[in-house]
Amino acid sequence: MTIIMGTNEWMERHPGRAKIEEFVQIMYEQRDQTWAKQFMKYGNGDARFAVWLWLCDKRCLRRVGFGIFDIADWTWADAYQSGESPRDAVEEALASDDTISTLFDE
């Protein structure tokens, strides 16, 4: 059963929306592959949410060298549903984690 997380305003108005939609289809089609399986699991079977999580993870990896699943107690679903961009969600998540914000304080 697929749980629909709703749409993300950032994804809906993004200039590269067509590419995002293509990747949503790829994520769904390859949901049994190891890389996609993890994001589909955390995305509760919702390929759009899974792609948004994947984008967040890539942003986080570039920013601090580890992924979003290493950040404690951040509600990614709430950030997605409120329409945040992956960049904003990652920055908020990093700032909200006491250890990480101390290590990467700019």
Q: Residue ranges of the alpha helices (H) in the chain?
A: 9-13, 17-29, 34-42, 47-64, 76-81, 86-96, 98-103
Label residue 6 by pLDDT band (50, 70, 90): low
72 or 15, higher pLDDT: 15
The model's pTM is 0.83
- pLDDT computed for residue 106 by the predictor: 53
